[in-house]
Amino acid sequence: MSMSDPIADMLTRIRNANTAKHNTVEIPSSRIKAAIADILSKEGYVKGYEILEDGVKKTMRITLKYGATKNDKVISGIKRISKPGLRVYANCEEIPRVFGGLGTAIVSTNKGIVTDKEARRLGVGGEVIAFIW
């Protein structure tokens, strides 16, 4: 069965694993998901990720990050913005700030998948993929 929105599936798996206080979560891998995981890692929302190859299938294992205890979650919210049925685009002046700059927006631009701060610095707009806070 084909999936209509693999990015939403990735974000939902991360949200569910974070709520269930798991250490890692495994996701089917793709280049766009690896770019999103790279942003999550650079922004400090996850410890890291690795891509595992098992014959034909490629999976990605994301290691989640918590505070002093597992009740102190680093990711308090994650939301898909642009969906297959309703794409959301913004130019560099219209890119939203998540919680006044405390969160991160992931934007797909012609320079690659970048954060909202990086898109503003580069002066490019694009599709607003997700919000993380």
DSSP string for residues in 69-131:
STTSBS---EEE-SBTTB--EE-TTTPPPGGGGTSEEEEEETTEEEEHHHHHHHT--EEEEEE
- Residue 42, pLDDT > 90, answer yes
Confidence of residue 1 (pLDDT cuts 50, 70, 90): very low
1 lies in a domain?
no
Which range of residues forms the domain containing residue 36?
6-132
61 lies in a domain?
yes
**Which structure tokens are listed for 71?**
């009740």
100 lies in a domain?
yes
- Residue 56, pLDDT > 90, answer no
**Which structure tokens are listed for 3?**
């999936």
**Which structure tokens are listed for 40?**
């999550």
12 lies in a domain?
yes
User: Residues 35-43: what's their mean pLDDT?
Assistant: 96
Instruction: Give the number of domains in the chain.
Output: 1
Specify the CATH number for the domain of residue 97: 3.30.1490.10
Q: Answer yes or no: are the C-beta atoms of 64 and 47 closer than 8 Å.
A: yes
Confidence of residue 2 (pLDDT cuts 50, 70, 90): low
Name residue 63's beta-bridge partners: 24, 48
Amino acid at 44: G
* Mean predicted lDDT score pLDDT of the chain: 94
Q: What is the pTM of this model?
A: 0.91
Amino acid at 46: V
Cα dihedral 39→42→47→50 (10° resolution): 60
- SS3 call for 9: helix
Q: What is the pLDDT of residues 12-28, one digit of tens each?
A: 999 999 999 999 999 99
Residue 15 has a pLDDT of 96
Confidence of residue 54 (pLDDT cuts 50, 70, 90): confident
27 lies in a domain?
yes
